[in-house]
Structure 1
Amino acid sequence: MTLVSHAHSTSQAQLRPVPQEFTHKRVRAEVLLTGWAPAGEDRVTVTARWPRTHSFYAPVAGRHDPMLLAETLRQSIPLISHALYDVPLGHHLIWQHFTYEVTPGALWAGDAPMDVELRITCEDITRRGGRLTALTMVIEILRDGLPLGTAHTRFSSHAPAIYRRLRGERCTVSSDVAPMPLGGAVPVLPPALVNREHADDVVLCPTAAPDQWLLHVDYAHPILFDHPVDHAPGMLLLEAARQAAHAVQGARAGAVLPVRFESAFFRYVEFDAPCLITASVEPAVYPGERPCVSVTARQEDTEAFSCRVTVADATA
């Protein structure tokens, strides 16, 4: 794992509070970020606190769910946009690609919440008319000053009028549309097959093929649909990739952690058409290599999302 070299030396006293609206979360309890501070030109330090347990991103075999890191980084995108680059509230922030890698040994869950520090460098910044339109974030993640992981992501920013032109007739929020058609009353997969305890948290429905599933969209899910949106959220697609990685491995999966995600977002996944999730286990290149699963999401015969998931034994 390659770490980003930074000269961040932000103290707790220098940290500024995180306005809830800057995280794009409606439920205060789901805000993971605790503070932020500039750390140089196009650099920022962000702190977060992971709960000891979570209703959706629960610990696995005594280790924090790495998807908490994905959600922490997702919340950092609007925070940096609004706080550092003056992007107005109401602008739409869209993922282009997102990669993270964590050290499993640093994910142990104790008896208290876990404090995390993100050292973020912003690169490849583009503007139009003085307004931010896209940037890349390179992130070093620390726990108690020690390496926890790294991440790299790029997103774009669109003013409401531009976004409406891009979305056209599909600019309709989830609360105003019917559930995504799944070919009838198709049940979700058994929770144990995707390492979930509750059926309400399963995002895949079976098909006739053992390596393909339909994306299940539940607008009432309190975490994945914290607020109305007009397309499938990025975190829903990442969760689908994680669950597909479990499902395609079957009984071999056991208690595993998604320690690396390499994902790309090509098109919006819409609410008015089925979305097919396909997964395949990549052959190992050398003995003892961690399993990797390639996952794609296709809608209307077009690839909308791809992800390569690397998993590790949570009990090792």
Structure 2
Amino acid sequence: MIQGSVREIPETKIDGRPATQTVDFQQTIPRSLVHRAAVSEVFVTDLNILGEGRFEVGAQWPRRHSFFGPRTPAFHDPMLYAETIRQAVLLIAHRAYGIPTSHSFLSDHKVYSVDEAGLETLGRPVDVVLRVSAHEVEYRGKNVGGMRLDFECFRDGHLIGTASERWRCVSPAVYRRVRGDHFAATPFQAAVLPAVAPALVGRDRAEDVLVAATPTDGTWSLRCDPDHAVLFDHAVDHVPGMALIEGARQAALLAVGDPYAIPGRAEFRFDTYVEFDSDCRLVAEADVTGPGRLRTVRIDIRQKGATAAHGTLGMRLS
């Protein structure tokens, strides 16, 4: 077993009194609240509002998932955790702050860190509880326009991960103006490039590979398959943030030469949309191996000669 730091979940109190309601794991929440088309792609199960700007979210990780791992028999994929955070953000936005499901969301900054011990697979689904707090809430008139949500993730009462996401939302009319000529774009505008050998990035199927087989000095082209049932589960007019992070993870695996390295921590900033109709490059630079067989990989996501997003991944070598 790989040991990670764990901490007992603190008692929830509202106005000094213990909370009596616990999150439920019996069924997932409506798929529209997390912008998913397939019920099978929903991981969050419940939301409790503990007080102003304080929440608990229930989620369940499946034993296996067609895309979100596990990457090895021993550990769930940290990207499953990242997707759970994404869904929790949307659930809180819609249920707690009344933001219409027709609004579009823009992620400016994502951070996560998760202990490998907390990702262990035990041959059964895993229930997790997210303790969430809202900060720097922005308003447009009387309506919420964005905020930062900070997360603590608990499994079996122990803290296994943290995360933070800074996001904004806009109305359909504003989004249409922002997107301009790209408003009606579809993934089918992207050229499906030849993939690197799936085994090089810890995958079994070519359709799950997001890096093209044309490396040049640590640079790979992002590869998008519009028929991918998970990454393109619903209509989108730009490359989704989760696809960019997964592409960055796969570029990082190639940079460190270890297809089963675990990205236990990540931080990404998104500066602009990544479009389907132009080549997108993933530029990866790996540091030397540090204590605990950890390598930090810096990723620059570039399109049309400019940086569209950038981040770092902490890769624990296998």
* Structure-1-length-normalised TM-score: 0.91
For the residue of structure 1 that corresponds to 2:85, the secondary structure is: helix
Aligned positions of 1:13-24 closer than 5 A: 18-24=29-35
- Do the aligned residues in 1 keep the contact of 2:48 with 2:56 (CA within 8 Å)? yes
CA distance in 1: counterparts of 2:215 and 2:58, whole angstroms: 45
For the residue of structure 2 that corresponds to 1:68, the secondary structure is: helix
CA distance in 2: counterparts of 1:270 and 1:254, whole angstroms: 27
For the residue of structure 2 that corresponds to 1:18, the secondary structure is: coil
For the residue of structure 2 that corresponds to 1:94, the secondary structure is: strand
The answer for the alignment partner of 1:259 in structure 2 is: 264
CA distance in 2: counterparts of 1:51 and 1:135, whole angstroms: 29
Equivalent of residue 247 in structure 2, options 240, 253, 259:
240
Kindly provide the amino acid, as one letter, of the partner of residue 190 in structure 1: A
CA distance in 1: counterparts of 2:23 and 2:44, whole angstroms: 16
Q: How many residues align?
A: 306
- Do the aligned residues in 1 keep the contact of 2:294 with 2:316 (CA within 8 Å)? yes
For the residue of structure 1 that corresponds to 2:242, the secondary structure is: helix
The answer for the alignment partner of 2:16 in structure 1 is: none
Equivalent of residue 155 in structure 1, options 151, 167, 181:
167
Equivalent of residue 128 in structure 2, options 107, 116, 120:
116
For the residue of structure 2 that corresponds to 1:291, the secondary structure is: strand
CA distance in 2: counterparts of 1:54 and 1:14, whole angstroms: 21
The answer for the alignment partner of 2:60 in structure 1 is: 49
Query: Can you give the 5+ residue segments of structure 2 that lack an aligned partner in the other structure?
Result: 14-18
Cα deviation code 1:189-218 (max 9, x no counterpart)? 111111111111001103351411111111
Change (3 A) 1:161 1:6: farther
Equivalent of residue 215 in structure 1, options 197, 213, 222:
222
CA distance in 2: counterparts of 1:89 and 1:65, whole angstroms: 28
Kindly provide the amino acid, as one letter, of the partner of residue 312 in structure 2: R
Change (3 A) 1:258 1:294: same
CA distance in 2: counterparts of 1:2 and 1:305, whole angstroms: 32
Equivalent of residue 305 in structure 2, options 301, 311, 315:
301
Percent of aligned pairs with the same amino acid: 36
CA offset at residue 37 of structure 1? Answer: 0.7
| CA-based RMSD | 2.2
Kindly provide the amino acid, as one letter, of the partner of residue 191 in structure 1: P
For the residue of structure 2 that corresponds to 1:204, the secondary structure is: coil
CA offset at residue 181 of structure 1? Answer: 3.9
Kindly provide the amino acid, as one letter, of the partner of residue 278 in structure 2: A
Equivalent of residue 93 in structure 1, options 96, 105, 115:
105
The answer for the alignment partner of 1:270 in structure 2 is: 275
CA offset at residue 288 of structure 1? Answer: 4.2
* Structure-2-length-normalised TM-score: 0.90
For the residue of structure 1 that corresponds to 2:212, the secondary structure is: strand
Cα deviation code 1:80-112 (max 9, x no counterpart)? 111011101110011100000001111111121
Change (3 A) 1:12 1:6: closer
CA distance in 2: counterparts of 1:6 and 1:136, whole angstroms: 23
- Do the aligned residues in 1 keep the contact of 2:22 with 2:48 (CA within 8 Å)? no
Q: Does 1:283 align with 2:288?
A: yes
Equivalent of residue 234 in structure 2, options 227, 238, 259:
227
CA offset at residue 219 of structure 1? Answer: 1.3
CA offset at residue 179 of structure 1? Answer: 3.0
Cα deviation code 1:224-265 (max 9, x no counterpart)? 001010100000001001101101122xx1522110011111
- Do the aligned residues in 2 keep the contact of 1:117 with 1:142 (CA within 8 Å)? yes
Aligned positions of 1:158-177 closer than 5 A: 158-174=170-186
CA distance in 2: counterparts of 1:181 and 1:18, whole angstroms: 35
The answer for the alignment partner of 1:70 in structure 2 is: 82
- Do the aligned residues in 1 keep the contact of 2:301 with 2:310 (CA within 8 Å)? yes
Equivalent of residue 40 in structure 1, options 51, 54, 78:
51
CA offset at residue 313 of structure 1? Answer: 3.8
- Do the aligned residues in 2 keep the contact of 1:49 with 1:113 (CA within 8 Å)? yes
For the residue of structure 1 that corresponds to 2:189, the secondary structure is: coil
For the residue of structure 1 that corresponds to 2:127, the secondary structure is: strand
Deviates more, 1:202-211 or 1:28-37: 202-211
- Do the aligned residues in 1 keep the contact of 2:46 with 2:57 (CA within 8 Å)? yes
Change (3 A) 1:172 1:103: same
Query: Can you give the 5+ residue segments of structure 1 that lack an aligned partner in the other structure?
Result: none
Change (3 A) 1:80 1:300: same
